[in-house]
Structure 1
């Protein structure tokens, strides 16, 4: 009876924890902006979606307003009949073309601060009766940033499926030591990028899962022995809808198709003679395929097996994230940009 009551308590707390904006087909992917050596800016795609019910909207209702750090951006996006947002760019005197990235000048006008910036996309419609909104974050990085990629399900969590479900009922399903290790890597000057083949409609809850799940309860997504949470970093997920993403992940078992394309887009933001990707963490052979494709050497690809052991180049070199932490300065030597971590994901709004 006690166990049943405790489970009920977990469920009720979990429902409260994940309450938030309901976007069954919508969301926004975190954005990476890279400042170039000449001071110009390049951006990853701005994938923003409001759902598939926008076909009846009037022309004036299809304008998506953008606010960055609480300030109006001074430019906007538009909605198509699928509810997907896009920019219009002038290709010639009388021709405009669609784009999913703003210009360098528009990016410069945002006055982004280095690191994380909040961005809000909104539009109003009489049909729905109120203002519709999705949120994301924009990360401003330098051209010489070193990036550590981490898969989410089965890598940060203990398993793919239960890793998505158990936090919803208030239970800790994180790999032991992952926050401690990733915090140490961040302190050595690297940036963390969280990559998942989840659908764009799961963007809000994926960010919330990584940042705030369990933080108000006994079971916290922290290394309790030192109080460290996961370090801050963009959460980059599939811009596709829920069903195409599930079909690719579950039926075709080809999440690497999305991951490779996504990582190549991010790599293209940096100078052509510079590879920003230093290492990658995953739990499947498809993660290794993705990381090798973008130039990460085998010795810097860490695969987490079902036992929670860390495998490098098919050899179990260390028992866990916790024991890997002891080798962090050798495997992830401090960079010139090393600085204390002041933001953990549990502080992200």
Structure 2
């Protein structure tokens, strides 16, 4: 059994060698209440193998330590004290949020695990949900390659011509953007970097406007086994969860 576990750990290491985190969405309602999406933070296999399981994770909002604490669970995913991925309502209500994007850092001591954004929106905001692979990018596989380290070193874009201009016009009309993808959470930072670098080929160059990013909450192997086999169900579930935030 130990040999099997070591083999599985080796496979996981080869796929999920970086940590990742989804962006968080906080919705402020007309009656003063708030709703919040999950704090999905997945540590790398390397981090788990450094015996950080059970360690406390400090959360920094816009560079300041806030009274939200998570721990690294057995599967490397960070959880709050009650075992869930969503903080208590009163904890979110007391956060000093600014409208739009706020920065989140997740740390164990001085070690940075992952970065993400916390998007503070209103119940009345209009949201446009945008798929990435095959929508922003010309093909699914080409988009994944373009956002990899290899693809970014080569300067690959593989985006539809004019897509950044179209998204910019939508944002300028007052809509909030939310990028939804079935990529694993360990590719979240690479995906953010990719979205921030496309548009240079347009004339004049246009950058992709700011938007929240939601990926699969699982690592590569978990996403391949549980998400990619039924993408329709995955995205419908994500859309329902997003809808519930605004109710």
Q: TM-score, normalised by structure 2?
A: 0.84
Alignment coverage as a number of residue pairs:
227
Identify the match of residue 75 of structure 1 among 48, 68, 72.
Answer: 68
| Pairs within 5 Å for 1:109-124 | 109-124=94-109
Ranges in structure 1 where 5+ consecutive residues have no aligned partner: 1-21, 89-96, 125-129, 214-219, 272-349
Q: Do 1:25 and 1:241's aligned partners in 2 also have CA atoms closer than 8 Å?
A: no
Once the 2 structures are TM-superposed, how far is the Cα of residue 104 of structure 1 from its aligned partner?
Answer: 2.1
Is 1:266 matched up with 2:242? yes
User: Counterpart of 1:184 in 2: which secondary structure?
Assistant: helix
Distance in 2 (CA, whole Å) between partners of 1:31 and 1:136 is: 8
Once the 2 structures are TM-superposed, how far is the Cα of residue 227 of structure 1 from its aligned partner?
Answer: 2.9
**Residue 85 of structure 2: aligned partner:** 100
Distance in 2 (CA, whole Å) between partners of 1:188 and 1:58 is: 45
| Pairs within 5 Å for 1:205-224 | 205-211=190-196, 213=197, 221-222=199-200, 224=202
| Cα deviation digits, residues 173-196 of structure 1 (max 9, x gap) | 110111111111111111111110
Identify the match of residue 149 of structure 1 among 95, 104, 129.
Answer: 129
Is 1:200 matched up with 2:185? yes
Distance in 2 (CA, whole Å) between partners of 1:35 and 1:197 is: 27
Identify the match of residue 48 of structure 2 among 48, 54, 72.
Answer: 54
Distance in 2 (CA, whole Å) between partners of 1:264 and 1:54 is: 32
Q: Do 1:25 and 1:200's aligned partners in 2 also have CA atoms closer than 8 Å?
A: no
**Cα separation, partners in 2 of 1:56 and 1:231, compared to 1, 3 Å:** closer
Over the aligned positions, Cα root-mean-square deviation in angstroms equals 2.2
Distance in 2 (CA, whole Å) between partners of 1:171 and 1:138 is: 28
| Cα deviation digits, residues 194-248 of structure 1 (max 9, x gap) | 110000110110111101x3xxxxxx52463233211110011000110122245
User: Counterpart of 2:130 in 1: which secondary structure?
Assistant: strand
**Residue 5 of structure 2: aligned partner:** none
| Cα deviation digits, residues 249-271 of structure 1 (max 9, x gap) | 65x3x212221111111111112
Q: TM-score, normalised by structure 1?
A: 0.61
| Pairs within 5 Å for 1:1-349 | 24=17, 26-52=19-45, 54=48, 57=51, 62-88=55-81, 97-124=82-109, 131-166=111-146, 167-168=151-152, 169-211=154-196, 213=197, 221-222=199-200, 224-248=202-226, 252=229, 254-271=230-247
| Cα deviation digits, residues 328-349 of structure 1 (max 9, x gap) | xxxxxxxxxxxxxxxxxxxxxx
| Cα deviation digits, residues 295-322 of structure 1 (max 9, x gap) | xxxxxxxxxxxxxxxxxxxxxxxxxxxx
Distance in 2 (CA, whole Å) between partners of 1:54 and 1:175 is: 38
**Residue 4 of structure 2: aligned partner:** none
**Residue 334 of structure 1: aligned partner:** none
| Cα deviation digits, residues 79-116 of structure 1 (max 9, x gap) | 1122111112xxxxxxxx32111122211222110100
Q: Do 1:54 and 1:80's aligned partners in 2 also have CA atoms closer than 8 Å?
A: no
Distance in 1 (CA, whole Å) between partners of 2:83 and 2:194 is: 33
